Amino acid sequence: MAIGRIDYRLYRKLDGIRDERNDVIHRLWIYRHRQNRAVIRKKLEKLALVADELVGVCKKLVDEVGVDEILEF
């Protein structure tokens, strides 16, 4: 958000999944063990959609700034 590439809506989504990110491996084991794959699938799809948005933000940033400047970081 500080450089204006992530809007507040996306920031809130990222903030909302931060806790889930920390224990996703544990959840995968639990849901697989209990044969409840539908629940974990929904959670993983939610994470994937946010990750997809971040990829779009990164692509726009590379297009705007240029590959050489990105590699300097």
- In-domain check, residue 64: yes
What is the tally of structural domains in the chain? 1
Is 56 a domain residue? yes
- pLDDT one-digit tens code per residue, 2-61: 667 788 888 888 888 877 777 777 777 777 767 767 777 787 888 888 888 888 888 888
29 is in which domain, residue-wise? 8-68
Output the CA torsion sign for 51, 53, 56, 58: negative
Give a yes or no: residue 3 inside a domain: no
